[in-house]
Every structure is written in C-alpha cells, then in structure tokens.
C-alpha cells in the first residue's frame, strides 16, 4: 500500500503541477489527484467533494494533502477533513520540487512523507548570487 497525494489549490494550479510532474516522471508511482477551488466556491460543497477524492486516494495508509497557500480556502478545506474521518497530513507551500520529492519516496509512510514534502519544497528554492 502507498499513501495517496491530494493537491489542494486555487484554480488551475493543481492540475498544472500534476502535468509538470508527468513531464518529469511519465509514470507516477503514487495515486495523485487535485482539487482546485474556484473563486466564490461554496466551501461546504468543496469540503464534501474533497473528502470524496481523499477517500478514493486512501488505500489504507492515509492521504498527503499538499496545499498551495497556508490559510487560504483550499488549505483550510484540506485541514478540515479530519472532522469527516479522513486520515491525512497537510503540508502547505506547494511547489513542483515538493511534489517531485514526494513522488520519489512513494514507499515512505504518511508522517515521513509530510517531512519529505516540506524538505523538498524548501530545498527547491535557489537564490542566484550572480
């Protein structure tokens, strides 16, 4: 069994990141899906939709939620899934290096994957000193 990965993002971000990951890794080693929250979305409707996606991704080891922005609606919806019985960990600040790092450690347990995601996201930031 492996952990499922659910991207919780603003409109057009999640699916673009999955597409970019497939460019680098044509066969993804984990189940990955995205819930993109449109402006003015009904949060209760989105929470139900997100819970359904998370349950479909959970093969018994939980779901790693990668959110684009802490405190924003997509992240808040993801964080609320525990009240609906979803077993998850959530990491915010989603970027492509974070997603790729997680995909490279598909066999790791949920808690460790959350740490790997955070490390990958930070490690993917580079400042040119030229």
DSSP 18-38: HHHHHHH-SS-SS-EEEEEE-
Token duo for residue 18: 């999955």
Give phi and psi for 17, each to the nearest 5.
-70, -40
Strands (E), the chain: 4-10, 32-37, 63-67, 88-92
Query: What is the percent of the chain with per-residue pLDDT over 90, rounded to a whole number?
Result: 97
CB 30 within 8 A of CB 5: yes
pLDDT, tens digit, 9 for 90 and up, residues 55-111: 999 999 999 999 999 999 999 999 999 999 999 999 999 999 999 999 999 999 999
- Average model confidence (pLDDT) across the chain: 97
CATH of 4-120, one of 3.10.620.30, 3.40.50.510, 1.10.10.10, 3.90.190.20: 3.40.50.510
């Amino acid at each position: 069994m492996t952990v499922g990965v659910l991207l919780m993002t603003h409109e057009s971000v999640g699916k673009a990141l999955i597409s970019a990951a497939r460019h680098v890794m044509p066969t993804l080693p984990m189940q990955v899906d995205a819930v993109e929250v449109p402006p003015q979305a009904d949060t209760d409707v989105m929470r139900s939709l997100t819970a359904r996606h998370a349950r479909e991704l959970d093969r018994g080891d939980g779901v790693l939620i990668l959110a684009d922005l802490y405190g924003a609606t997509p992240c808040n919806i993801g964080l609320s899934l525990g009240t609906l019985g979803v077993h998850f960990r959530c990491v915010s600040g989603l970027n492509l290096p974070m997603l790729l790092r997680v995909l490279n450690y598909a066999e790791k347990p949920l808690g460790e994957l959350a740490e790997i995601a955070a490390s990958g996201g930070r490690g993917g930031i580079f400042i040119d000193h030229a």
